[in-house]
Structure 1
């Protein structure tokens, strides 16, 4: 428990003792280093640790390039392939994945009204739960976070390129095609038809790659294998902040400025009916809307009087500590996070590289 408390405390101190409106280069670098070391050098931590050991081994023993790149999404498979050359296996992959994730996360946080609050809000869920287990999706999200940091200035072509790169690490990132094309200046009915066509095309592509069958088995079946405890809570972590769009409608331009932040909130609302039927699948998709939650948390001090903003920041810090402690103590999935071990603190004979 103490390693996690120490980790989140570092980001809480950035909120309490740093400048609320901006994050210095030194603070940003410290955050990147802390996340990369804590997440990227973990040893035998996370629900998917054994799954990624298996993937690493599959790539290692495959005799052809096609066999190696066919183990999982090609971008991540290529990263696994490089890891087999280093002799470090899963540790190299995790380190690179965590570095990319940290760079994307910090870069996006620095575009929010309060970068330190945005970063802190990501620690309990996006960092400890997602980045320490769902490696491929974390890397895919990191690409999109880097893109979201300059989204308004990007052309449609640039956005689609970013989505394409992200999808090479996790095919589910293709959902961002909807947001890439959202701002195209066409009549509303054409935009809706376009979104439907894009969604159908995405499903067709995933089906041709065999990912629909996998998703059906992994996320939509009633088997015990498919049931991820806490999916409803995970949905609440993104849909909850989105609800503030309704609760604070008059403050919507502060909490949800026009553009992708508001679009992500509307998309989260639209997924609610699906979440009632398939909470696991929906929770996975909603991971991509979490940048909206980061922006909302960082904007909360702006909707109160200046003299009250410090109390809102303190309350946010308390909420994030509570969220992390509740998950670590009561989520069955949290068992895979104990004990926390780090590559820097183990002997060579304890390594689990996944290599043959």
Structure 2
């Protein structure tokens, strides 16, 4: 448990200091540390032993066959790990690196980057990146896509989402986001943008989702799978979503950026409603993972928005305390936290 607390403590101590930027050298050190923490973990995470099935299936597999895999990006990493050496540790390290790059660049772009990292660590880093490797990579790439979309880089956004889909296809739900940047009166350039988006969405759906649509319908909806703790995880996204929707003007965002995060917030509220109306909470829970960046975006802006008249310094301390509470509650009371305890790593002697 100590490695989790020490890692969180690094982000919390910097966050309490109200640091507004992360120096380049510190960013590199954090990236290396997170990559090793995630990538070289040993028997940590609920899906740990299932990773070896991917490695076994990839051993001796013809290289061309990798691209016939359901998620070829993840299949490619396993092919290299199985046939070139490194096994599951190679796969997890590359996954950890991609996730860490996305997380750090996204947090660096927030007004309080250390606070954003502190909020990310208890669940996004500890649970998702160490427990759901494929979706961890997809979320890391999603955060790069969100930065591109905020800067009006539609093609770059589509590229990051397409790459993310080679690790977990459910990320394609985020293709709805660029529609939020279209204004009421469509100009010619916006019509071109809309056509490009519709074409890309249809192409990705046809190539990636449609061939296995029955698998998703039967595996998630018809089977009515239920996820333990789904309510808490969805609530962690719904709370900042409601705070944002009720106080959008206080966040002082440019119109396009405000519309992007308004749509994400509405999706978070819809997820909360979906838990009570959709047969499978697992389906809602898995899709809600892509809403976690909302926690970091809104959380890092709440202190300066002075919500409820609370001073920025007090909000900062409250959010860091809340982050600590989430970490402790999860480690001690989550149904599957035993798979994360004790933390072991190839580089640690114990």
> What are structure 1's unaligned runs of at least 5 residues?
348-356
| Aligned residues of 1:254 and 1:299 also touching (Cα < 8 A) | no
Query: Which residue does 1:28 correspond to in 2?
Result: 27
Give the Cα separation in 1 of the matches to 2:140 and 2:333.
28
Whether 2:2 is the aligned partner of 1:2: answer yes
Offset, 1:221:
4.7
- Map of 1:13-92 to 2, 5 A cutoff? 13-17=13-17, 19-62=18-61, 64-92=62-90
Q: Residues 208, 98 of structure 1: CA spacing in aligned structure 2 closer, same or farther, 3 A cutoff?
A: same
Whether 2:234 is the aligned partner of 1:231: answer no
| Aligned residues of 1:268 and 1:286 also touching (Cα < 8 A) | yes
Task: Identify which of 181, 184, 187 aligns with 1:183.
Answer: 181
Aligned to 2:258, the other structure's residue is in SS state: coil
Query: Which residue does 2:149 correspond to in 1?
Result: 151
- Using the TM superposition, name which of 167-176 and 270-279 deviates more: 270-279
Q: How many pairs does the alignment contain?
A: 340
| Aligned residues of 2:251 and 2:305 also touching (Cα < 8 A) | no
| TM-score normalised to structure 2 length | 0.86
Offset, 1:8:
0.9
What are the superposed Cα offsets for residues 21-54 of structure 1, whole Å, 9 maximum, x if unpaired?
Answer: 2222233223212211111110111111122111
Aligned to 1:42, the other structure's residue is in SS state: coil
Give the Cα separation in 2 of the matches to 1:129 and 1:231.
13
- Map of 1:322-337 to 2, 5 A cutoff? 322-337=325-340
Task: Identify which of 102, 110, 117 aligns with 2:108.
Answer: 110
Whether 2:298 is the aligned partner of 1:300: answer no
Offset, 1:147:
2.5
| Aligned residues of 2:248 and 2:258 also touching (Cα < 8 A) | no
Query: Which residue does 1:354 correspond to in 2?
Result: none
| Aligned residues of 1:254 and 1:302 also touching (Cα < 8 A) | no
Offset, 1:9:
0.9
| Aligned residues of 1:156 and 1:181 also touching (Cα < 8 A) | no
Aligned to 2:297, the other structure's residue is in SS state: helix
| TM-score normalised to structure 1 length | 0.85
Give the Cα separation in 2 of the matches to 1:253 and 1:282.
31
Offset, 1:152:
2.8
Give the Cα separation in 2 of the matches to 1:139 and 1:310.
33
Query: Which residue does 1:214 correspond to in 2?
Result: 215
What are the superposed Cα offsets for residues 253-308 of structure 1, whole Å, 9 maximum, x if unpaired?
Answer: 46995142222112222333333223211121111122121011101110229993
Query: Which residue does 2:11 correspond to in 1?
Result: 11
Query: Which residue does 2:344 correspond to in 1?
Result: 341
Query: Which residue does 1:167 correspond to in 2?
Result: 165
Give the Cα separation in 2 of the matches to 1:187 and 1:122.
38
| Aligned residues of 2:20 and 2:112 also touching (Cα < 8 A) | yes
| Aligned residues of 1:55 and 1:71 also touching (Cα < 8 A) | no
Give the Cα separation in 2 of the matches to 1:250 and 1:182.
17
Give the Cα separation in 2 of the matches to 1:337 and 1:145.
25
Aligned to 2:347, the other structure's residue is in SS state: helix
Offset, 1:217:
4.4
Query: Which residue does 1:268 correspond to in 2?
Result: 268
Aligned to 2:177, the other structure's residue is in SS state: helix
Aligned to 2:46, the other structure's residue is in SS state: coil
Query: Which residue does 1:352 correspond to in 2?
Result: none
Whether 2:283 is the aligned partner of 1:281: answer yes
| Aligned residues of 2:245 and 2:262 also touching (Cα < 8 A) | no
> What are structure 2's unaligned runs of at least 5 residues?
none
Give the Cα separation in 1 of the matches to 2:336 and 2:219.
16
What are the superposed Cα offsets for residues 42-78 of structure 1, whole Å, 9 maximum, x if unpaired?
Answer: 011111112211111111143x335444444011111
Give the Cα separation in 2 of the matches to 1:209 and 1:272.
29
| Aligned residues of 1:117 and 1:298 also touching (Cα < 8 A) | yes
